[in-house]
Structure 1
């Protein structure tokens, strides 16, 4: 590949990187996406893919950033259609029992907080809940917080769509292309990116490498300490995706059930279910063996059977897909997005809930790069809030 020139280069072909590239391209920038493997091959394809602001109520700024992500998806759906994007406006049911006093009180407080933020949600009783999910077996004292604006996403489809739009807008998507190092002037101004396919000349590089962010920054800058100092945890999450199921074995909404044992499920785009649990995530590590993952997946299928009597439980495990996604969790729990302090033209986006936040952070980062000014919504999440940066 001969030397090419771009207004901006995005390192990372997942949902965050391709969303950032899309919004930059819409501003008329000539953009390249550099992905060392294939698009959406990492965390994006192994995510529960629940778009919401429902679960983020403790901090108002962070809630509103997530709500902005949901709103951005809705705006894209008006323009391109839900089918093209892989969106399902399913809504979420957060199911809890009145007899579980602690969880019931916490969920009601969550509902009050969402109302204070003007986030669309309502409380539903057992009668409404059974109408909404007729195939679920629920105790008589079950109720739910219904977040009707939430969506779920076919994330790989969305990533591919964003990448196709980047190309349609004159950008370039380079798969199987590994970023190697930055080219910079003595004053720290980025002037290019070295890859294993050649040099890309640019004055703006956005690193959106998910759980690999620290390692990528270390490699690009030559500063080894990034690999250990960058404030990001790698947190594994196991999911089971079932094959297509008969209608009486399915659900209609994203369901988070705190009825013991805890489980969350959503209607997958293949006609099956996607199933996970915060509890079972604690049973796996990045080094779990296939047999260990298989055993935890069996637990998830048994839990699904408890809620859906028609579900075939672990009998269908051989037909299921088991994935272990490595999620990037900033150490303080909130997104890291903005310029890398001390560098000129180098930007970072690293966050959990990348599925929800991708279009919001992509749009806000585009505004920052294009204007040189940090948008107000992004200010609480820039890297200079972290000690050592």
Structure 2
């Protein structure tokens, strides 16, 4: 006897559920397993009338006669409270899920009763059964603030993260999120209007450094940049990263204090590090741990690795809208080729993130910031490190190629020729003007959007520097359900 199966993703809302159930009736299926908690009884009546066997996963249904596979959600919640209490925890909160469905209400009942039994005060928030909904709930009850003091956050009652994740943007940040989430086991769809790294990622100078004095909400995140790229390089051998170190100097007479990972070096040391310099400065800041990446090459490797872990990749497919279901939850994204369903959507689309957010009534305070990048023909080995001066940021990217980040191609060309021996024949090959996504306060915007369950933002300046770290942390939040303290200063609700 041969059998066949139909599988339907009903996470996008009621119309797809009805369409699937209607098709099941038309095909005269022998049986249906319903594993969605919010399917109304009325929708099952045509199936039952047709003679099909129906099994529901969850709590018993009072309006229909179906077989049920269920768990004792009330007992599970009570046991979880008892376990945490036995381990010495006393301030116990719960994100219960929607109380209109049985799992949410049963868990809340078990939680409340168990806290009464132990003489504790209940502290709960009603959420939705999505990853971003859970993250928003945790932040609302103060988890982000708690982890700054105590990183031992216990997570027992969270539902499994919705497996269908859509990442909008295959630049280096979106590619990193897609790779890390797919590697962690999520069902990932990555969509981009162009090619991997084809947007502002391609216009980045791509200096990766964790050295120096760091301030601001993302200081801890930036401090991990080089370590995260070393980790990523171990996972993806051959990743195009060059660890050359960086040299920085200005025209000031006295050197600044060295920050973490930095050393103040004299002219002789500078000359040894950069032999082609005409006039080595009296001092320079040497950061031996710094490096640079081929940003497009890294994005391409991340996308290929995400695909190898099962991600579906849609390139040259512009997202025209982000869709919500009848309950206001994220349902996926619309493209010219149709709807790409997903219960969670990560917007990592650079400056386009603002417009996509605005279509949902969400303000994303990001503006385009000009990013000039010049490509130069130069002798092999002219520049050996990442060089940062008042005139330019400069590094060698191939035997006969330099790239420079500066304001004027003419002034940059003149400065390079006057700074290095053997640079008289250096030529300007091309000029690109990218548009970096610059948040209003200069800090990354990373995290769930409370007013749109299922929406998650990942947009920032220094995207290349932070991509390896941010991709891993965002994947942990969305796949594992953690709340990452390193991202606590980057949340969208700070605006």
Could you tell me the TM-score, scaled by structure 2's length? 0.65
Relative distance call for 1:53 and 1:364 in structure 2 (3 A) is: same
The 2-side partners of 1:56 and 1:123 are apart by 14
The 2-side partners of 1:49 and 1:55 are apart by 17
Q: Which residue of structure 2 aligns with residue 41 of structure 1?
A: 198
The alpha-carbon deviation at position 207 of structure 1 amounts to 0.4
The 2-side partners of 1:312 and 1:241 are apart by 16
Gaps of 5+ in 1: 281-295
Residue 269 of structure 2 corresponds to residue 128 of structure 1 = yes
Q: Deviations over 1:306-363 (max 9, x none)?
A: 21131136x622xx12111111111111110001231111101110000010111111
Q: Which residue of structure 2 aligns with residue 293 of structure 1?
A: none
Q: Which residue of structure 2 aligns with residue 274 of structure 1?
A: 403
The alpha-carbon deviation at position 144 of structure 1 amounts to 0.9
Q: Which residue of structure 2 aligns with residue 233 of structure 1?
A: 367
The alpha-carbon deviation at position 239 of structure 1 amounts to 1.3
Residue 494 of structure 2 corresponds to residue 338 of structure 1 = no
Which has the higher relative contact order, 1 or 2, with Cα contacts under 8 A spaced 6 or more apart? Answer: 1
SS state at 1:306 partner: helix
5 Å-filtered alignment, 1:210-289, equals 210-219=350-359, 221=360, 223=361, 229-243=363-377, 245-247=378-380, 250-258=382-390, 262-269=391-398, 271-277=400-406, 280=407
Question: Conserved in 2, the CA contact under 8 Å of 1:339 and 1:383?
Answer: yes
The 2-side partners of 1:218 and 1:239 are apart by 30
Residue 240 of structure 2 corresponds to residue 86 of structure 1 = yes
Question: Conserved in 2, the CA contact under 8 Å of 1:155 and 1:355?
Answer: yes
SS state at 2:453 partner: coil
The alpha-carbon deviation at position 55 of structure 1 amounts to 5.8
Question: Conserved in 1, the CA contact under 8 Å of 2:380 and 2:399?
Answer: no
231-240 vs 14-23, which moves further: 231-240
How many residues are aligned here?
336
SS state at 1:85 partner: coil
Question: Conserved in 1, the CA contact under 8 Å of 2:379 and 2:423?
Answer: no
Question: Conserved in 1, the CA contact under 8 Å of 2:212 and 2:262?
Answer: no
The 2-side partners of 1:32 and 1:19 are apart by 13
Question: Conserved in 2, the CA contact under 8 Å of 1:154 and 1:269?
Answer: no
Question: Conserved in 1, the CA contact under 8 Å of 2:186 and 2:479?
Answer: no
The alpha-carbon deviation at position 263 of structure 1 amounts to 1.6
The alpha-carbon deviation at position 56 of structure 1 amounts to 6.0
The 1-side partners of 2:319 and 2:184 are apart by 24
Relative distance call for 1:211 and 1:192 in structure 2 (3 A) is: closer
Question: Which one has a larger percent helix, Structure 1 or Structure 2?
Answer: 1
Which protein is bigger by CA-based radius of gyration?
2
RMSD: 2.0
SS state at 1:25 partner: helix
Question: Conserved in 2, the CA contact under 8 Å of 1:53 and 1:63?
Answer: no
Relative distance call for 1:21 and 1:196 in structure 2 (3 A) is: same
5 Å-filtered alignment, 1:8-23, equals 8-23=165-180
The 2-side partners of 1:183 and 1:42 are apart by 24
2:181 paired residue among 24, 33, 37: 24
Q: Which residue of structure 2 aligns with residue 352 of structure 1?
A: 461
The alpha-carbon deviation at position 183 of structure 1 amounts to 2.5
The 1-side partners of 2:219 and 2:265 are apart by 22
Relative distance call for 1:380 and 1:206 in structure 2 (3 A) is: same
The alpha-carbon deviation at position 54 of structure 1 amounts to 3.2
